Amino acid sequence: MSELKEAYERYYWAPFTQMGDLAEKEPLVIVSGDGATVTTDEDETYIDVHGALWLANVGYGRLEIVDAVYDQMKRLSWFPSFDGMANDAALRLARRMVEMTEKEKMGRGFFSSGGSEANETAIKMARQYWRLKGRTNKYKIISRHRAYHGVSMGALSATGIAENRKPFEPLVPGFRHIEAPYCYRCPHETSPESCDLDCARDLERTLKFEDADTVAAFIGEPVMGAGGMLVPPDGYWQEIERICRKYDVLIIADEVVTGFGRTGEIFGSRHWDLVPDIMVFAKALTSGYQPLGATLVTEEIFSAYLGKYGEGRTFHHGTTYAGHPAACAAAQANLDIIEREDLVQRSREKGRYLLDKLLALKELPVVGDVAALGLMGRLELVQDADSRTPFPAEARIGATVSEELLHHNIILRPLGDTLTFSPPLVIEYDQIDHVADALAEVLRNLS
């Protein structure tokens, strides 16, 4: 066993990993990356269809980001932003992000170190906002089944994935969940033809039941990620927005996965002209070159917090490394690449190309649903496509396919039996061809 694998086995505890499984399955230890590929300690190179947890948008090995971080750290390694101080890199990035979200009418940017923290920030901002407006009972947060908003207790309470939640109960009070827009297995058993957006109307029913005067915010990913890469039906977000406006409920758009080109728009919200009150970013804000989260809010929310210290209007929240200059410098260089190389457009074009390849696999009886928006796609494996009968969970078909794909030098992450597609936006067409061909071969052997 290599020194690194021994370190994994003896000293390491990996997130979201059943460490007991490693007796049968060796870890994949990555030591370098270039474009859409990564290379292991054993010098095997793989196409990363997973995009390193859906975030390596500009791809690996971008030396201009490395240089930007290096230059920043030579000048200033770190300085906090508490109590009227700041570092210049955080200020510049706040300005750029507010300018980028002009269409969404964001006014201020608050930084943290990742998606969970950025959502935790959003939830606390929404709760205190209503308190400051004198509506002290407006504290509940409505989210959706299958949502993933993070692992800290507030973000986890908004999350709607049972296995993530159950071991840590009781969670934070005041969180409710409505149905997810999972069209292939519609919770209201309608078809796309007969869909009347009942899953969105579930929000109105819930607001009436809970009393909208007790609800601070609705939080949602424009396209759900960990819940199964679920693209909502047309009209869904418009209906959610209509209901939230009618009942005075803030909208928190969790753009942690959908931000910065993943879906073929710069932000997922843009597909539906959604104008949220709070937008949450992390992941592709730096394409993973540094850990960074950002919570953007409207000037209306921000101004509710203005006053004098001691009046109870201060936002008593923030982590030590919020707005780390190295992370902010990485974000700037990353956003420069996204703009200069028109990666949003490339995501749209390559996403269409990938989707066509995946749709061609529908001739196989194990291929159920196929959908994608930009380079965020899903392929749901089923025992029988006509009846949509799922495989038994214990068959672990998704995991089997993903393990088989490793033999074709492809890293692809399954969510149960749903295969997910979120490669770096710089993936080449011939790499997409290789993925589609290998997948066809693996799935044919399953059929």
Ligand X SMILES: Cc1ncc(COP(=O)(O)O)c(C=O)c1O
Give the gyration radius of the chain's Cα atoms: 22
Which tokens sit at 102?
């002009």
Binding test (CB under 6 A) with ligand X, winner from 37, 116, 206, 418: 116
What is the closest distance, in whole angstroms, from the C-beta atom of residue 200 to ligand X in the complex?
Answer: 19
Tell me phi and psi for residue 145, to 5 degrees.
-55, 145
What is the closest distance, in whole angstroms, from the C-beta atom of residue 378 to ligand X in the complex?
Answer: 14
Binding test (CB under 6 A) with ligand X, winner from 46, 148, 289, 421: 148
Residue nearest to ligand X (CB): 115
Binding piece for ligand X, criterion CB under 6 A, among 60-68, 115-123, 165-173, 236-244: 115-123
Dist. CA 369–CA 182, nearest whole Å: 11
Cβ proximity to ligand X: between 367 and 425 the closer is 425
Residue 281 interacting with ligand X (CB under 6 A): no
What is the closest distance, in whole angstroms, from the C-beta atom of residue 17 to ligand X in the complex?
Answer: 14
Give Dmax (Cα) for the chain.
Answer: 68
**Residue 185 CB neighbour total at 10 angstroms:** 14
**Continuous H helices in 361-396:** none
What is the closest distance, in whole angstroms, from the C-beta atom of residue 431 to ligand X in the complex?
Answer: 23
Residue 226 interacting with ligand X (CB under 6 A): yes
Cβ proximity to ligand X: between 283 and 350 the closer is 283
Site for ligand X in 179-198 (CB under 6 A): none
Cβ proximity to ligand X: between 15 and 134 the closer is 15
Q: Are 174 and 140 in contact (CB under 8 A)?
A: yes
Binding piece for ligand X, criterion CB under 6 A, among 4-12, 77-85, 238-246, 250-258: 250-258
**Residue 60 CB neighbour total at 10 angstroms:** 21
**Continuous H helices in 220-322:** 236-246, 299-304
**Continuous H helices in 195-324:** 198-210, 236-246, 299-304
Residue 33 interacting with ligand X (CB under 6 A): no
Binding piece for ligand X, criterion CB under 6 A, among 218-226, 268-276, 358-366, 385-393: 218-226
Residue 225 interacting with ligand X (CB under 6 A): yes
Q: Are 90 and 328 in contact (CB under 8 A)?
A: yes
Binding test (CB under 6 A) with ligand X, winner from 51, 109, 114, 423: 114
Strands (E), 229-300: 250-254, 278-281, 293-297
- Closest listed residue to residue 97, CA positions, set 81, 108, 89: 108
Contact residues toward ligand X (CB under 6 A) are 53, 114-116, 119, 148-150, 221, 225-226, 254, 256-257, 282
